[in-house]
A and B are shown apart, each in its own frame.
Chain A
Amino acid sequence: MYTRNITRQNYPMSQTPDDKEVMPPRDHCPFMRYYSAAYPHVYRYIYSLIPRKSDADEVMQETSVVLWQKFEEFQPDRDFTRWACGISRLVVLEVLRKQRRFIVGFDEQLIKELAIRREERYELLELRQEFLEECKEQLDQQDLNLLDLYYNSQESAQDAAEKKGCTRRNIYQRLGTIRKLLFQCIERKMSEDREV
């Protein structure tokens, strides 16, 4: 199985023995430090279990509140991000049981399977995320503009299509192409990294 040493610089919340020594006393301030650093990781984790933005946003907020409430139980020698991901998984399942389904077919059993698979691949996914940033830089300006329009400006595909003078279908197709380009670029970089 492919493994790679993860540096502390890359993963601020993956704690090393040094972390323990510098761990601040428990008050609101360390919570925010942990929370801010873990937020992107936890959000991505939630998104992989319930792949719809509105649902992921809602569960992320619920998780934030639970993390805040349960922070007293957090053991400083543990990895906060992994702890927070574990909590978020429970929140996802609780919301699923209480409220409603998310994506059709994403039942408790499948969500648990995905959670296990993601936890197994946690470090590789973190590495892929690093490569994603590099791969984004290789996209041409037109594609970067589209990503900016769709993701950053949160324009609907229809609005983006009107701005670009094409159809909504064209926008979805191009977004699909960009995602595939990014996926392939990350695969290439993973392979090169493996050889090194």
Chain B
Amino acid sequence: MSRLLKKHARLVKLVFHVMDETATAAQEQELSDLIRKDPEAQTVYLELIDIHSNLVLSASLIPATPSDALAQTSEIRKRRNASRKKPVNKRMLLLATTCLFLICSTLSYIGYRVYSKSSETAPTEMIAQEKAGLPQVEQRMLEDGSLELSFPTGVKVLIAPESLFQVTGNNSLSLTQGMLFARVTTPTGKGFTVDTPRGAIVDLGTVFGVEVDETKSSAVQVFKGKVELVDSVGDKISLSEGETMFAETSVNDWQPTENVSPRFLTAVQELNETFFPGISYLRSTKVTFIYRATAGELQNGPVNSPSYIMFSATSVAERFRETVPNPNHWNSQAAHFVEVRFNESTSKWQLPVKNESIDFTPVDSDVLIAQAAAHEKNEAGEWSRRVTLWEEESGTIHGIRYGDQMDELSIHPDWFSDKPDMGDFMIIKNIYYP
């Protein structure tokens, strides 16, 4: 592993995101901050980008003449304009205007109540008082703390600090800057709408998060259920569980992305216990346990040989259903992570189950995310186990890919349910995208 790549691991990750056009606005900003006024970081950036541009270039045609170049310029512009300016159907516009008028008229007769409570700063705060006939409250900047809003439709919204928002109806609000998380669990809450500078997000019964950065680029991630995104010209796109979309300032269209900002992920992690109870998607991916069933010299340890922690795209319960028919075996274990070993004498990968080891054949989507060394006694005379993560290294080990993790990951050996437990692993991760 190159010293430079290791030293600038974060920079390398961000450069790859930019190369693949999967970087969020926040990641782009982070990249520019990292390379600004840092000659070494700039050199690494330039050398990586040069590899990429060479590869891009090897696939491009060099225009034969300047007039070809000019023609290409016009073509590029045409394509850009065509993709940005979608024709607006006049009938749809009329219908939308009529609907808007009807909604506004209806709302003027509806009294609505929005109660709020601050989870960190003020104990309870009412941000929207009863104002019959007035469907809107003024735009508000939440400086610090977080704020939970309960809409009369049953929708719960958590506003993050430093957010500029406005309640715009009895089932809608707008977010101009910052971050919010919405939980829609009632039939009346369906259709809950968050207006962002890049378009509306309409809930279809779900839990989702929205982030609008300082450049007004917007991102939405669905944790459960489905939402519908409406872009600036009224086109609708459906977004399902686990998916993320992003619309940047210069291009209004929503584009799929695999990333949300580190700030968003941190917020999700912090809110996991309070705001998303019972949502298995988050609960099972944020903190994952790998239970090692085999016993060593001591009860539940120590372990005498190294092993690996493997990610399986298919859930381990389903994948090993035939070899481990007892479904209860997988209770309280990670859905997609499992501890495995390689048997040098038989050259087979093995899954330790209770007191035996079961051979299994790896598949292409398997990834070894860490290596756990055998137990050793530390200076204090306690058994300890060293876990090596391969975030910045990659390759194959006996046919299984290893390393190259794109998300931050931490693994605690001999730890279970927030307390020491010999032989177990606890994986802490925000969201794992299989």
Contact = CB atoms under 8 A, between A and B. Distances in A.
Interface string A53-87: 11011101110110110000000000000000000
Contacts of A151: 55-56, 58-59
Interface string B44-71: 0111111111111111101111100110
A22 to B, nearest CB: 23
Contact of B32 (A36, A40, A61, A103): A103
B16 A179 contact: yes
B76 A58 contact: yes
A57 to B, nearest CB: 6
B177 to A, nearest CB: 15
Chain B interface, DSSP helix/strand/loop, else mixed = helix
Contact of A187 (B2, B35, B49, B433): B2
A44 interface: yes
Interface stretch (B17-25, B262-270, B347-355): B17-25
Contact of A177 (B15, B45, B54, B404): B404
B364 A166 contact: yes
B215 interface: yes
A135 to B, nearest CB: 9
B33 A105 contact: yes
Interface in A17-76: 31-32, 35-36, 39-40, 43-44, 47-48, 51-54, 56-58, 60-62, 64-65, 67-68
A39 B215 CA distance: 34
A43 B18 contact: no
Contacts of A44: 50, 53-54, 57
B50 A167 contact: no
Contacts of B55: 147, 151
A192 B55 CA distance: 24
B46 A172 contact: no
Nearest to A176: B16
Given A172-B258, A173-B406, A53 B56 contact: yes
Contacts of B56: 47, 53, 56, 151
B384 to A, nearest CB: 30
B29 interface: yes
A101 B36 CA distance: 16
Interface string A84-111: 0000000000000000110111110110
A68 B29 contact: no
B31 interface: yes
A48 B433 contact: no
A101 B48 CA distance: 22
Interface in B57-106: 57-60, 62-66, 69-70, 72-73, 76-77, 80
- The 3 nearest A-B residue pairs measured at CB: A105-B32, A64-B69, A68-B66
Interface of B: 1-2, 4-5, 12-13, 15-16, 18-23, 25-26, 28-33, 35-37, 39, 42-43, 45-60, 62-66, 69-70, 72-73, 76-77, 80, 215, 217, 249-250, 258, 313, 364-365, 392, 394-395, 403-404, 406, 433-434
Given A47-B49, A47-B52, A176-B13, 5 more contacts: A32-B65, A56-B53, A166-B365, A172-B22, A179-B52
